[in-house]
Structure 1
Amino acid sequence: MKKTLMASLVALTLSGCASSQLDQPFSLTIAHINDTHAHFDASDVRLTFADNAVYTQAGGSARLLSYANQLSEQAKDQQHAFLFLHAGDAWQGTGYFKQHQGAMSADVLSRMHLDAMTLGEREFSLDNARLASFIEQVNFPVLAANLDTRQEPALSEQENLQPYVLYRFKGNKKQQVASVKEAGKYPVVAVFGLINQDLASQGANLGHLRVSDEISRAQSTVNALKEQGVNYIVALTHLGLEKDRELAQSVNGIDVIVGGHADALLGDFSDIGGTKNEPYAQSFTNPNGRGRTCVVQSGQRGQAMGKVTVTFTYDGRVSQCQGNNTLLVDSRFYRDASHNEQQRLNDAQLEQVNQHIAHSSKVAIVEEDKSLQQYIAKQYRPSLLQAYGKTIGMVPNTLNHATQPVDGKSSQVAPLVAASQWYWANTPAVQSVTGRQVDFALVSAGTPQQNIEVGVLKTGQINMGLLPSTEALSLVSLSGRQVAGVILEAINSAIAKGADGSQFPYVAGLRYEFNETSPGRGYVNNLEYQQQGQWTRLKPNQQYQVALSGFHSQDTLFDAQQVLTDRLDLAYVNGKLAAFPVARLTKNAHGKIAPDYINQPLNCQDAQVSCEAAAVAFTEYVQQVHPTLTPVTETGISLNRL
């Protein structure tokens, strides 16, 4: 009896030396957001209750902060540990970012009391000096375990960019610690970051940064944390849902993956007029067959927040993982998208809406945090409203942008962008500069940067949010065979395993069928263009004039233009449209493709030059053709997947 007791005490002592975190069950609540894309203000949304449409606003930084504070208080009452995490892509997407770049993001996110953030591809859209400034200014750790900064001067000495962070919990009270030893007897949660190893192919400006394989780096990081005695491990990633699932099934020891890069808001929102997407919290078995990893993501544009509560067994394994995404809405509702006070719901109608919301776990009325709302309104909003300018159209229902037209999630935005470029290139004003009749337009899914929200549409929302790119819109002659090659290469790139879909080709004045023959591969069929109102098959050797946006790094286009091309890049110089003729394309030692101009090179960074022809095209298209902006009736795409 004494020997058994002594052995038990020795085992318990040894266990305590390794880690004291196993003394009692542990529960962790995580509030999380991702892909907020500089949506600091609330955005307009359309909801449906009992087949009746109503309009209100959702999200925004002040509302997210208010809800995060509510969840923190709930966790405190339940004696749960609590973390508030951002899974990347805080940059780009609104006029706020175009005006202030990373500075406003650093300011506002720091006021939201985040515990950690990882980096998405949008954080690499400027240059490493400005990314370094953002990381230095925020008051929370920025995490990226698979990012090697040693050869990048702008980031090599940045102390706030870390592989992981450790938080000690005394009940609900947390404190950042340097080691498990510093935590004493209290539980420690590690959060480590992972960024996409394919950032370079997504157009990220990496400089001398190097990104390593996500899976191998994740496993080595987990192993190192386990050796320190950490038993609760969260991966904060910006890889996309498919890669998160692969990570969960390929790495031992991750308890929760909080991800980003999501197009859809996970969960079933069909009862409020949304879509039924995949379940929010899914659990996957690790390769050792013993551990399990819970995977969650929230949506985009800061309209919703995810909340997951993870309960652990005595030996540190996940026993329960539960939660959901919640759309955070204002208390004011209207009968139409104008949000005119005359269209505001009366008391009886409002009561019905409130009853529906009270019985739904997917939507909540949340008032904005007054302090943050007032700060944004005073410090930043006046200059943005001035820059947004005049109203050019009305959007009756939000037009959603998704990269690939599969599973009923085709982009409603990219076909409109393609239609605008086809229309604009053939207007007399543009033809007087180019001297060309354009047969059709090709636009990559990565060209539009966001949805087009319900409500009024203003000029600045186009050039500062939807189409902020500084890449020129091009006109180029391609043979029918080359057009087919461009489309095929783009689709194969977009549907490859782990791809973000940004290369997917949307069209106007053209239609095609793609048939997948094996996973991620296939062929293009029935390639036709609209000739004098009739659909006509493209001839392999005939030349066609194409408006092109977003494919300039493609091998097929490089092969077609490296010797001789008639390409024109369109930009505005001192407010006047100008064409910049290209002689050929060249490729540097790093594989980057660039045009050699015949005369004056096009420099989109020049203060007198504007490369926003795509935004101008869309603006004029809305004003002159489509002032009530609704989806095109036919996208021209038939995609047959296995």
Structure 2
Amino acid sequence: MRHSVTRCIRIASVMWASMLLISCSSQTIQSSEYEFSLQIAHINDTHSAFEPTPGQFSTPHRDVFNQWGGHPRLASRLQQYRLNATEAGQPLLVLHGGDAWQGSAYFKLNEGQMNADILSRMQIDAMALGNHEFDLNNARLNDFISRVNFPVLAANIDASDDADLGRQTNLQPFTLFAFKREQKRSVTPAEMTASLSDEVSRQQAAGFTVVAVFGLVLDDMPTIAPNTGDVDFFDLTTSAQRTVDQLQAAGVDKIIALTHIGNALDVKLASQVNGIDAIVGGHSHSLLGDFSNLGLATSQRPYAERVNNPNGTTTTCIVQAGEYAQAAGLLHLSFDAQGELTRCEGGNTLLSNADWYQDQQRTLALEPSQNQTVHDFISGQPNIAVIDEDPALREHIDRTYQPALKEAYGEVIVHLTSAISHLRRPGDNDSDHHGSRLAPLIAHAQYAFAAQPEVIAETGLQPDFALVGAGGIRSGLDAGELHEGIISLEVLPFASQLAIVPLQGKVIRQVITETVEATLPEGAHAGRYPYGGMLRYQFVETQAGEHGELRQLEVNTGTLQQPDWQSLNDNTRYNVVVNSYLANGNDGWTAFYQAQRERSERVDLAYHNGHLQAFPVDKIIASDGGYRPRYQGLALACDDPVVRCNTDAVAVIEFMRRFPEQIQSATEPTVTLLRP
């Protein structure tokens, strides 16, 4: 975007203040003298999906069971994009919208090192810092950032006071890319030997077109990620406009925001900030586009949506590419001689294998004639492609990482005859208004664990029901053998201790209302969406994307097989089973914190030297923007080698082993979300 500016360039970011000249100048920013086109290949929320994930799509003739993506297949697709861009004589950027961490047993075993290894083999140009990159500690994050061969971007943080990240030169607010025919250069603030303005001028004088990519992370990160250390987070809108202004003042007129804030906030950001040409997003796992031709969901917001900026004259183009390395997006941008965005189009492509089956168990392969019909169908579709895995990356994963993975999976718990789906929000991906099938099962399993006589004897609390947040469940369950490690390393990988929290009914009502309403906007972060075990509710959306009413909220005072539903009483105290992260009030469950900030009767459950032990909580305290418990006596130290905190996963494994017949038996839905 072209602007003529007379301004005093003012230092606003301590991370790159040394790279800016503090001066007052009158400067007219000159854009390129020719039209400039740029392709952006993008991925996000890959979550350690190094292996393909089971999938399904429909053709006019049949349903097809396949596998989507995986990093070796994704690497092949990105290489195709590079070759095509080279043949077309167009520059290409490969961007990652954040959240490479978590998601599979590979991450639990390698704690970010495998992510750094694999991503560094994929020729990525830059990555946004995601919330799950904070899931371990800042020392591990610092190691990851040091290992990758591309910059990690976040313009709305200050890590200078953090013991681990304070001197990390590969964590930057932005990076510059300079293009000239087949040449591509990149330079971060840490690599500049002169001021930002001088660096831009030097590149332009050499005939290069300069594009800036800056990063944004969630500004409420401490309430979402438990281990942000001494990193400060700043307002999204203010930081974005400040960064854009600084880049424009230095002569940059083509600016991309690489964000990990979710599609809804991307749209809001574009409506509040001038000067961003495109936003490449992540966090909400939004597969933008129309996939109805494959029998799959169509996103409410389109791919490459153009949102009006507050100045009323310019727009910002917004994209995002789904989740779990299943798809890749390709965005085409063009700018005129004045630096104004003239083209914004493209799409996401789902990446399929070529081995297709008739059944969910994948035992009946398609006949050759059926196979050819599916091939012919796919060849005519713009949003699905059959892609072979990159053989070198496949071999590297199999040789270096897969043996330890297979060993870590452990014993088989049960054989599932069909998949058990997990969706964060009812209605997503064309699901019904009851949503996840797995989340209520997990909630009930955790309730059943806490309701065992020996556990009640330890806690002194008889549980009434359980609550889980959809985001704490990282995947559904596939048909076939279910191993212990699939639960503890992939489905529930956060190793959170279970808590039993005595709370009044009105607090439960408030939490459910607030968390459901927060997920109503299209593209909103739906990880906080609540599901219950021995608790059910009906929520009716009364104003689309804004508000609704909790019209039914009931507690099961019977059993799972013979329920006795009674209305929740606002003034009755209930003992709620929930993981410690949500029990503290994080991720928008703030009412739990408010109810315990003066005094708590909560008990946390963890294993100490192999024995289940209760850890009474005194109260919940606010700390570094998040919430954590203060214990009455012995503090629970999950990093102690004799302590095992993953009672959230242990409860589910034990339940599935004890009651295999209940895992796939039909039960009453516990969540109903009715939308206009």
TM-score, normalised via structure 1 length: 0.89
User: What's 2:566 paired with?
Assistant: 536
Q: Does 1:180 align with 2:180?
A: no
Indicate which of 486, 489, 493 corresponds to 1:461. 486
Unaligned runs of 5+ in 1: 1-16
Greater shift, 591-600 or 83-92, is seen at 591-600
Alignment of 1:50-61 (within 5 A): 50=60, 52-61=62-71
Moved more, 555-564 or 146-155: 555-564
1:594 and 1:221 map into 2 onto residues whose CA distance is 33
Q: Is the 8 A contact 1:491 1:504 kept in 2?
A: yes
In the aligned structure 2, how far is the partner of 1:481 from the partner of 1:243?
30
Tell me how far 1:268 sits from its aligned partner: 1.8
Quickly say closer, same or farther: Cα 1:93–1:589, change in 2 above 3 A. closer
Give the CA deviation at 1:431.
5.1
Out of 105, 115, 126, the residue aligned to residue 115 of structure 2 is 105
Shift of 1:123: 0.7
The CA deviation string for residues 502-529 of structure 1, in whole angstroms up to 9 with x for no partner, is 3332112112234567775665443221
| Counterpart secondary structure, 1:154 | coil
Tell me the distance in 2 between the aligned counterparts of 1:611 and 1:335. Answer: 41
Cα displacement (A) at 1:499: 6.2
Shift of 1:152: 1.6
Say yes or no: does 1:610 pair with 2:644. Answer: yes
Q: Secondary structure of 1:384's match? A: helix
TM-superposed CA distance for 1:303, in Å, is 0.7
User: Is 2:400 the counterpart of 1:400?
Assistant: no
Aligned to 2:22: none
Task: Give the structure 2 partner of residue 223 of structure 1.
Answer: 245
Mapped to 2, the partners of 1:265 and 1:496 lie a distance apart of 15
Counterpart position of 2:88: 78
Match of 2:374 among 335, 353, 357: 353
Determine the structure 2 residue equivalent to 1:13. none
Partner of 1:163: 173
Letter in 1 for 2:286: A
2: CA distance, partners of 1:292 / 1:521: 28
2:602 maps to 567
1:374 shift after superposition:
0.6
Query: What is the distance in 1 between the residues matched to 2:361 and 2:583?
Result: 39
Counterpart of 2:473, as a letter, is: P
Give the CA deviation at 1:564: 5.8
Deviates more, 1:437-446 or 1:355-364: 437-446
- 1:601 maps to 635
Q: For residues 632 and 89 of structure 1, what CA distance do their matches in structure 2 show?
A: 34
Secondary structure at 2:186's aligned position in 1?
strand
**Residues of 2 paired with 1:372 and 1:301: CA distance?**
17
User: In structure 1, what is the Cα distance between the partners aligned to 2:630 and 2:32?
Assistant: 64
Shift of 1:90: 0.4
Aligned residue runs from structure 1 range 575-590, under 5 A: 575-576=610-611, 578-587=612-621, 590=624
Q: Which of residues 153, 163, 175 is equivalent to 1:153?
A: 163
Q: Alpha-carbon deviations, 1:273-299, whole Å to 9, x = none?
A: 321223222112222222221110000
Equivalents in 2 of 1:361, 1:450: separation in Å? Answer: 27
Aligned residues: 623
Deviations 1:200-232 (A, max 9, x none): 221342221111112222122222222222222
Equivalent residue, structure 2, for 1:33? 43
- Give 1:6's aligned residue: none
**Equivalent AA in structure 2 for residue 400 of structure 1:** H
Task: Give the deviation of 1:453 after TM superposition.
Answer: 4.5
Check the 8 A contact 1:43/1:58 in 2, yes or no. yes
Query: Is the 8 Å Cα contact of residues 337 and 455 (structure 1) preserved in structure 2?
Result: no
Aligned to 1:502: 527
Please tell me the residue identity of whatever aligns with 1:375. Answer: H
On the 8 A contact 1:479/1:540 being kept in 2, the answer is yes
Percent of pairs with identical residues: 38
Give 1:389-538 correspondences, 5 Å limit.
389-391=410-412, 392-394=414-416, 396-397=418-419, 399-403=421-425, 410-427=435-452, 430=455, 433-434=458-459, 437-453=462-478, 456-491=481-516, 500-514=525-539, 524-532=550-558, 533-538=563-568
State the 1:611 CA deviation.
Answer: 1.4
- Which residue of the partner structure matches residue 388 of structure 2? 367
1:404 Cα offset (Å): 6.4
Supply the distance in 1 between the matched residues of 2:658 and 2:349 (Cα, whole angstroms): 39
Q: Give the root-mean-square deviation of aligned CA atoms.
A: 2.8
Classify the secondary structure of the residue corresponding to 2:345. strand
Paired letter, 2:245: N
Query: 1:405 touches 1:411 (CA, 8 Å); kept in 2?
Result: no
Which range is displaced more, 330-339 or 462-471?
330-339
- Rate the CA distance shift 1:60–1:107 in 2: closer, same or farther, 3 A: same
Partner AA of 1:353 in structure 2: V
Q: For the Cα contact (< 8 Å) 2:296–2:430, is it kept in 1?
A: no
1:153-172 Cα distance to aligned partner (Å, 9 max, x none): 32222111111111111223
Distance 1:597 1:214 in 2: 34
Instruction: Identify if the C-alpha distance between structure 1 residues 133 and 416 changes in structure 2 by more than 3 Å, giving closer, same or farther.
Output: same
> Contact 2:501–2:583 at 8 Å: present in 1 too?
no
TM-score of the superposition, structure 2-length normalised? 0.85
